[in-house]
């Protein structure tokens, strides 16, 4: 069994980005600028945005944070997005999710300039991804592909099971793994809440990517020996033995599954760190497009 160390790979990616930024500075080219919109005071969202800002500092990016009250109207938020769209100094920006319930998430995301959509959620970029046209890929699926490439995990002709059909992870990674590319060409099945034979599908699969948010749902007796497991789930589980009062758990019961598989991502330290790294990689790409 080999651990897919996302933290280590993310550091490698960030170092590569920093090297590119250093070269841009030497050649008097623009320094990439990433901005984030944060609506409300959601704790995990604030933590995630702060992590992005720190990552920007690490690689030499400029960064900006636009904070708004959760009472902001949908129209006012759209006006703020248009201001960022028209700001030539900002290369890419994200709207941190989730948004307040009274704001239409799809409508907001569609207002982002596709050329600044470093989250890869705009319908134009999503469509390009589906067609195999070069574009900004959603950060978490892009991070998964990066891990597969760097660990040289074979996907061609393999049976891949994606558990979860969200537009952020499940659907895009199923598209990417089925495409005719070096680290693609898988036969992909997408499972969801209505799937009736999930255990059977798991046992048949060479690669399982789980993104359902059910802590330790996948057990050792559900996986094929020698398979690869990529755990995207991240849930806070009450734990009185922890000084925080909780621990972070993935969708996979690591202890029972790890002894049966060839590759597995830990939680934390697997897919999570890759998401921010790929967001910055998209931002560097956005900046380079304006050279």
Order across the sheet with 228-231: list the strands: 2-3, 263-264, 228-231, 207-210, 159-163, 187-191
Separation between Cα atoms, residue 36 and residue 48, nearest integer Å:
11
Q: Which contiguous run of DSSP H or E holds residue 263?
A: strand 263-264
Verify whether residue 52 is a known catalytic residue. Answer: yes
The structure tokens listed for 233 are 């789930």
List b or e across 256-286, with b for residues whose CB sees 16 or more CB atoms inside 10 angstroms.
ebbebbebbbbbebbbbbbbbbbbbbbbbbb
Per annotation, catalytic residue among 5, 91, 96, 224: 96
The structure tokens listed for 127 are 């469509």
Verify whether residue 219 is a known catalytic residue. Answer: no
Per annotation, catalytic residue among 5, 91, 117, 119: 119
Verify whether residue 91 is a known catalytic residue. Answer: no
| Beta strands at 246-249 and 235-238: parallel, antiparallel or unpaired | antiparallel
Active site residues: 52, 96, 119
């Amino acid at each position: 069994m080999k651990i897919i160390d996302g933290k280590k790979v993310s550091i490698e990616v960030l170092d590569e980005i920093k090297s590119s930024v250093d070269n841009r500075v030497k050649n008097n080219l623009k320094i990439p600028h990433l901005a984030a919109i944060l609506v409300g005071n959601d704790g995990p969202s604030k933590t995630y945005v702060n992590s992005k800002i720190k990552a920007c500092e690490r690689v030499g990016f400029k960064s900006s944070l636009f904070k708004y009250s959760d009472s902001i109207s949908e129209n006012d938020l759209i006006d703020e997005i248009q201001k960022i769209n028209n700001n030539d100094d900002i290369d890419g920006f994200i709207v941190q999710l989730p948004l307040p319930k009274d704001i239409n998430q799809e409508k907001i995301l569609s207002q982002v300039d596709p050329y600044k959509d470093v989250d890869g959620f705009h319908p134009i970029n999503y469509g390009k991804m589906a067609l195999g046209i070069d574009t900004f890929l959603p950060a978490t699926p892009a991070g998964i592909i990066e891990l597969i490439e760097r660990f040289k995990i074979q996907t061609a002709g393999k049976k891949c099971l994606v558990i979860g059909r969200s537009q952020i992870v499940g659907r895009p990674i199923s598209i990417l793994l089925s495409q005719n590319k070096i680290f693609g060409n898988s036969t992909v099945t997408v499972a969801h809440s209505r799937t009736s034979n999930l255990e059977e599908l798991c046992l048949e699969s060479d690669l399982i990517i789980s993104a359902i948010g059910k802590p330790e749902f996948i057990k050792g007796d559900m996986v094929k020996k020698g398979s690869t497991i990529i755990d995207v789930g991240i849930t806070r589980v009450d734990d009185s033995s922890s000084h925080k009062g909780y621990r972070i758990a993935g969708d996979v019961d690591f202890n029972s599954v790890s002894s049966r598989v060839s590759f597995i991502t830990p939680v934390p330290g697997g897919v999570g760190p890759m998401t921010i790294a790929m967001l910055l990689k998209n931002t560097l790409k956005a900046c380079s497009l304006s050279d």
